[in-house]
Amino acid sequence: METKKKENGFLVKLGNLCRNQIFIPIAALLILAIFNLIADPSFYAIKLSYNANGSPVLMGNLITILDYGSELAILAIGMTLVTAASGGQDISVGATIAIAGSVILRVLCGTESQPTSLHAPIIVAFLVACVVSMLFGAFNGALVAYFKIQPMVATLILFTAGRSIAAWINNNQLPVISEECSPTFGIFGNYIPGIPIPTPFFIAVACIVVIFLVLKFTNLGLYTQAVGINSKSSRLNGLNPEFIKFISFVILGLCVAVAGLIKVSRLNTINYSVVAKDIEMDAILAVALGGNALSGGKFNMTASILGAYVIQFLTTTLYKMQVQASALPAYKAIVVILLVVLSAPKVREWLGKLWKKLRPASMKEVA
Amino acid sequence: MKENAVLEMKNIHKRFPGVLALQGVDFTLCEGEIHALMGENGAGKSTLIKVLTGVYEKNEGQIFLKGLHKEAAIHSPQDAQKLGISTVYQEITLCPNLTVAENMYIGRGTGVAQNWKKMNEEADKILQSLDIPARANQQLSTCSIAIQQMVAIARAVDMDCKVLILDEPTSSLDEQEVEKLFGLMRDLKARGVGIIFVTHFLDQVYEVCDKITVLRDGKLVGEYEIKDLPRVQLVSKMLGKELDDLSDIKDKSLVYEKKEGAVSVYEAKGLQSTAGIKPFDFHIDKGEVNGFTGLLGSGRSECVRAIFGADRVIAGEAKKSGKTVKITKPIQAMKNGIAYLPEDRKVDGIIGDLSVRENIILATQVLKGFFKPFSKAEQMKFADEYIKLLEIKTASTETPIKSLSGGNQQKVILARWLLTHPEYLILDEPTRGIDVGTKIEIQKLVLKLASEGMSVTFISSETDEMLRTCSRLVVMRDRKVVGELTGSDLTQSKIMETIAGGSEETQSKITETIAGGSKENGN
Amino acid sequence: MKRKLLALLTATLMVVGLVGCGGEAASSEGGLIKVGIINNDPNESGYRTANVNDMKATFTEENGYDASFAYSLKNEEQIQSAQKFITDGVDYLLLSAADTAGWDSVLKDAQDAGVKVILFDRTIDADPSLYEASIVSDMAKEGETAVAWLKSQNLSEYNIIHIQGAMGSAAQIGRSGALVAEAEANANWNIVEQQTATWNAENAQQIVQAVIDAGTPFNVIYAENDDMAKGAVAALDKANISHGVGKDVIIMGYDCNKWALQELLAGNWNYDGQCNPFQASYITDIIKKLEAGETLAQKTIIMDEKGFDATTITQADVDQYGI
């Protein structure tokens, strides 16, 4: 009897989890994990090796996922807030990453395409990129909040023009920061000497910690959700809905700057037309995968971030399976279709009924 | 079926979860008749129309139509349209970027729309016959709102309608446009179309209508010939003047008496907002309960919205406890100790997806500041306290507010504002759409709060509620303050007189309008 | 109101764009040869930037040209620009087409108007009578040169990661063709991974990362442009897999970016194939001949293109051929 009760308790918890928002990314993660386990358990192998500088590095698919999922996770933070507050998405993040990266290189390299020494400390370049990205975020935010233009339409402007602006910032040059020029610049996209885990992961963790502290010690979460759900009512509660929408785009701008730093540091250079290409769609998909309504309102930050890593998990799995890279979007599309179908109210209702039927009779007694 | 009746609705019942929206309503519309459907908000007018047009399905009752020898089966708006029932709404539902003719024929599947020339000719013919000053190939958006309304009507008429429903068609029209519309209505009447006219403007009812059916609280009050029902009586029937057994709520001891020389808690001079109200003066003292009254659309909500800064204030000055303050935004009002429970709970009040807890603490949290969130424990404490105090029925503090019943939602919003400990609380229709028990609770609470020193402005479309709670009433008509009643003047009849415009000029205008109609038969 | 604002915004944006594109259009003056140059977006790649700069530097007033430029990655926009140039009465229309198809009618118009057309960088599907000359890179030849070089390395076994450009592009088809053919012909040539990274360094890095994580052995990375080679090398560096002259993995790239040639010079990469963006001098030669009334010996002119080996490259090569 005792064990039975425990079992029931577990089942009830499982049932609750199923109804929880975070269930969607977790379920997606589990499906992918199990698939890989069956297809090839060596997927999970992690081995320690030493890189050219003699520092230890961990290698393996899981590390790759944590590494390459970082930019996406960072963007998902900002995208979640923008989605919640404005009920729309920013499709210009890829282009603004190009701008942020271009700004960093412009400050570091001056006008030289292959400098022998940095023209400014990296932190200065990064801060300048933050300011520029936030200004572009502010531009998007102002269009959305004060001119009431639909977010997708408003951000279409930078989506179209951003990469040209990025190229213009560096006068169409493609600056390269070589190892000899600055041994530290590559750290942000690779490894810190002596630490076997890729730096982007730490940067992502730092961003995640910051956003959770912000959510805990300010009312950002409450305000953005309130505005996203009912902006009229929020105003009557003393909030300034326009400003909150505006600020969510500025925060996304900051996330873009961080992602831009990682991107340029990974390869020590930039290619304006392809850097962070299509990343906006992945960021939006991460938000959706997190079970957040793309029409705004309530959000779950953990679920969004998890969603970002699920997407990278999927990408890495597909690379591992040697699926043609050009076919990747098609697989992502399948995921989107599944998600949309699963989150449709009708299907949820149906699943809820199914769950009730499947519940063992004894549980009904307990409940 | 009655002779020459085009429509008969009998014993219509409509239930919504927890509410009986229509209880045994009868309605008869005759050929060539303009029939006003009157009632305050929530009386059941729109429900009745939605049942008739197939938007809602009735739970009980029958609908008969002329020429149809059995009960009419209306299950969808398409059914209604096929049976010759057409509706023209307040908001134009046509496509402004199409031409007049296209708007008249689009989506009708008559095949006319395939032949543009023919379509334009036909449309011009109809427009001419109805004397509508528009051309078939003109883009609709270039027409005035009134003409657009008429095009909508022309479309309905051409669809061979027997019953035409005009749902507040005049709200956005100026006087001349209204006249044009009335001309068209009379023309249609002469052709034998039965017209149901829904409006809040009494003058207009007396200008064009033949009969009035009054609804109140989902029940039929009666059907009257226009000449048998003077304005004052119409108002009284709409509001329902019989005082029920709750009238003893108001205790003499609670009646506020003005202390000489005391400074008003809030005072406004020449206040005016973008919502279109005339500048008004207003004050409220400590511990006073007063109210704005007037028919719907008279501007009572707009007045309190101006006080709270909910609409953009464009003129006037406000004083808080004698000090001049600037209130142009809600947050400024809140910082000055003013709280406002808005009229439209769903649109302006609740934050649907957020929990009861979050909805309760929201305003207080905003006042406290962005960087100082309440801890979860504090939030729970506040929420539990007010859930208990106001007896809010909710599964838990974490239940989304949208899944609560209307009355409990209202209590949560009330809790939200009480938690801010305001000096001056504005309640705009706090009792609308909630059950009787909660209504009484809220009224009692208002009086209790006042006795503790809070100033309250209370607005309700139910006059008896206001009489029970308020010691002073500001009366409004046509977006203007027309009177202030205190003491012995606080009676139903006095209020109605003021609302209806007891003044000579209004009465004489009625005389002019209703030719041959008797007036002033008692009050 | 909102819509109007948006329209205004879009319009402003377009005007700004137009100014950016058409800014260089100068009025015709006596004695100058009027040319209209239609090219792809200079931001497309380093190759294109070099190409555009080369054209701009050559077709100047000092050199006797009155040149107008139009840039677009879209065929329709390019065709529109061509029509405009024809109406403007240019003497020569220089064209690097975005798409191969759809040019017949506008080129006929050009012919009727007496405008001579010279294709550069890219060929089109049109009757050769419609243009005077076509200056192109032979991508297949580039591939053959590279593969021949690879074969000359005489490895006992070739395990190749083949990183392809955007599928279907002329460069991808040409550069992939030779490698695939060679791999089929030789038993000791294995392509262990063949993926498109759509010219993108990040994608290439992830593709190579996946191969490393899977533990598949490889000793050659054949990337169809420098960016992708760079991405691949970044993945190798992470995993501490040595590459370059005399190391574990041979790195091959294309396009001869200056930074790529420097990698060669440093011995980090092994081979870089040239895709010559400097076509302006070929074009001016042709124009001079045509102006002098000479006839051209051949219609299609294939540019000389080199392949650089890390063991033989010099700083002079880097300076001369780096783009």
Amino acid identity, residue B260? E
Do C229 and C206 meet the contact criterion of CB atoms below 8 Å apart?
A: no
Chain C residues within an 8 Å CB radius of A322: 193, 195
Q: To probe the interface with A, which of B304, B354, B367, B417 has the most A CB atoms within 10 Å?
A: B354
Q: Pairing between strand B5-16 and A56-60?
A: unpaired
Report the complex ipTM.
0.85
Do A257 and A133 meet the contact criterion of CB atoms below 8 Å apart?
A: yes
Amino acid identity, residue C309? D
Q: Read out DSSP for C38-61?
A: EE--TTS-HHHHHHHHHHHHHS-T
Chains C and A touch (3+ CB pairs under 8 A): yes
Question: Any long-range contacts for B246-253 (C-beta under 8 Å, 24+ apart)?
Answer: B246/B440, B246/B464, B246/B468, B247/B464, B247/B468, B249/B440, B249/B443, B249/B444, B249/B447, B249/B468, B249/B469, B250/B447, B250/B467, B250/B468, B250/B469, B251/B447
C281 lies in the same domain as C242 = no
pLDDT of residue A8: 59
Radius of gyration of chain A (CA): 22
C149 lies in the same domain as C195 = yes
Task: Find the domain containing A145 and state its range.
Answer: 2-366
C175 lies in the same domain as C314 = yes
pLDDT of residue A337: 81
Scan residues 188-207 of C and list those with Cβ closer than 8 Å to A: 193, 195-203, 205-207
Number of H helices, E strands in chain B: 17, 19
Q: What is the DSSP letter of B345?
A: I
Q: What is the DSSP letter of A189?
A: G
C285 lies in the same domain as C252 = no
Do B426 and B457 meet the contact criterion of CB atoms below 8 Å apart?
A: yes
Place A87 in a pLDDT band, splitting at 50, 70 and 90. very high
Q: Which residues contact B413 (CB under 8 A, 6 or more apart)?
A: B341, B345, B349, B350, B359
CB contact under 8 A, B342 and A229: no
Chains B and A touch (3+ CB pairs under 8 A): yes
Determine the straight-line distance between the first and last CA of chain A, rounded to whole angstroms: 16
Q: Which chains touch B (3 or more CB pairs under 8 A)?
A: A
In this structure, is residue C298 part of a structural domain?
no
Place B152 in a pLDDT band, splitting at 50, 70 and 90. confident
Residue B304: count other Cβ atoms within 10 Å of its Cβ.
24
pLDDT of residue B337: 94
C117 lies in the same domain as C153 = no
Q: Quote the distance between the C-alpha of residue C190 and its chain's center.
A: 28
Per residue in A255-285, pLDDT tens?
999 999 999 999 888 888 888 888 999 999 9
CATH of the domain at A288: 1.10.3470
Place B253 in a pLDDT band, splitting at 50, 70 and 90. very low
Residue C146: count other Cβ atoms within 10 Å of its Cβ.
22
Amino acid identity, residue A272? Y
Q: In whole angstroms, what is the distance from residue B227 CA to residue B206 CA?
A: 9
Show the CA angle centred on residue C233, arms to residues C229 and C234, nearest 5°: 120
CB contact under 8 A, A238 and B331: yes
C34 lies in the same domain as C54 = yes
Place B516 in a pLDDT band, splitting at 50, 70 and 90. very low
H or E segment to which residue B475 belongs: strand B472-477
Q: Which residues contact A269 (CB under 8 A, 6 or more apart)?
A: A105, A174, A175, A176, A177, C201, C230, C259
CB contact under 8 A, B370 and A235: no
Place B112 in a pLDDT band, splitting at 50, 70 and 90. low
Size of interface A-C (CB pairs under 8 A): 124
Q: In whole angstroms, what is the distance from residue C110 CA to residue C131 CA?
A: 9
Does pLDDT of B211 surpass 90?
Answer: yes
**What's the mean per-residue pLDDT of chain A?**
87
Q: Which chains touch C (3 or more CB pairs under 8 A)?
A: A
In this structure, is residue C303 part of a structural domain?
no
In this structure, is residue C37 part of a structural domain?
yes
Chain C residues within an 8 Å CB radius of A161: 13, 17
C246 lies in the same domain as C221 = yes
| Closest partner CB to A236 (pick from B348, B352, B373) | B348
CATH of the domain at C230: 3.40.50.2300
Q: What is the pTM of this model?
A: 0.76
C251 three-class SS: strand
Closest of C17, C18, C16, C51 to residue C37, by C-alpha: C51
Task: Find the domain containing C221 and state its range.
Answer: 139-275+308-321
Count of domains forming chain A: 1
| Closest partner CB to A320 (pick from C199, C210, C258) | C210
Do B118 and B112 meet the contact criterion of CB atoms below 8 Å apart?
A: yes
Q: To probe the interface with C, which of A274, A282, A313, A324 has the most C CB atoms within 10 Å?
A: A274
B347 CB near a chain A CB, below 8 Å? Answer: yes
Chain A residues within an 8 Å CB radius of B371: 217-219
C319 CB near a chain A CB, below 8 Å? Answer: no
Closest of B213, B230, B215, B327 to residue B269, by C-alpha: B327
Q: Could you give the maximum distance between any two Cα atoms of chain A, in Å?
A: 77
Q: Find the range with the poorest average confidence among A68-77, B505-514, C58-67, C70-79.
A: B505-514
| Closest partner CB to C239 (pick from A42, A59, A157) | A59
CB contact under 8 A, C42 and A149: no
Q: In chain B, whose CA is at the least distance from the CA of A215?
A: B373
Query: Which has more confidence, A83 or B68?
Result: A83
Q: In whole angstroms, what is the distance from residue C167 CA to residue B483 CA?
A: 80
Chain A residues within an 8 Å CB radius of C46: 174, 271
B223 three-class SS: strand
C131 lies in the same domain as C106 = yes
Place B454 in a pLDDT band, splitting at 50, 70 and 90. very high
pLDDT of residue A14: 61
C179 lies in the same domain as C117 = no
Mean pLDDT score, B58-82: 85
Structural domains in chain B, CATH included, are 5-239 (3.40.50.300), 247-505 (3.40.50.300)
Q: In whole angstroms, what is the distance from residue B25 CA to residue C27 CA?
A: 82
CB contact under 8 A, A217 and B371: yes
Scan residues 200-229 of A and list those with Cβ closer than 8 Å to B: 216-220, 222-223, 225-226, 229
Place A6 in a pLDDT band, splitting at 50, 70 and 90. low
C58 lies in the same domain as C18 = yes
Q: To probe the interface with A, which of C238, C242, C255, C259 has the most A CB atoms within 10 Å?
A: C238
CA distance C136 to chain A (A): 23
CA distances from A235 to A132, A239, A251, A341, B320 (A): 30, 5, 21, 34, 21
CA dihedral sign of residues A268, A273, A277, A281: positive
Q: In whole angstroms, what is the distance from residue C52 CA to residue C60 CA?
A: 13
Do A104 and A261 meet the contact criterion of CB atoms below 8 Å apart?
A: yes
In this structure, is residue C301 part of a structural domain?
no
User: Is residue C21 classed exposed, middle or buried when 0-12, 13-18 and 19+ CB atoms within 10 A define those classes?
Assistant: middle
Does pLDDT of A366 surpass 60?
Answer: no
| Closest partner CB to A271 (pick from C167, C195, C201) | C201
Mean pLDDT score, A312-334: 83
Query: Tens-digit pLDDT profile for chain C (323 aa)?
Result: 555 555 655 555 555 444 444 434 444 445 789 999 999 888 777 788 888 989 999 999 998 999 999 988 888 889 999 999 999 899 999 999 888 888 888 999 999 999 999 999 888 888 888 999 999 888 889 999 999 999 999 999 999 999 998 888 888 888 999 999 999 999 999 999 999 888 888 889 999 999 998 889 999 999 999 999 999 999 998 888 999 999 999 999 998 988 899 999 999 999 999 988 888 989 999 999 998 888 888 888 888 888 999 999 999 999 888 88
Mean pLDDT score, A165-180: 86
Q: Pairing between strand C271-273 and C250-254?
A: parallel
| Closest partner CB to A267 (pick from C201, C209, C212) | C201
Select, from the ranges A7-11, A116-120, A154-158, B94-98, the one with the highest average predicted confidence (pLDDT): A154-158
3-state secondary structure B116-151: HHHHHHHHHHHHHHCCCCCCCCCEHHHCCHHHHHHH
Amino acid identity, residue B295? L
Does pLDDT of B494 surpass 60?
Answer: yes
C193 lies in the same domain as C236 = yes
Closest of C303, C209, C195 to residue C256, by C-alpha: C303
Q: In chain B, whose CA is at the least distance from the CA of A228?
A: B351
Count of domains forming chain C: 2
Q: Find the range with the poorest average confidence among B110-119, B281-290, C132-141, C212-221.
A: B110-119
C201 lies in the same domain as C149 = yes
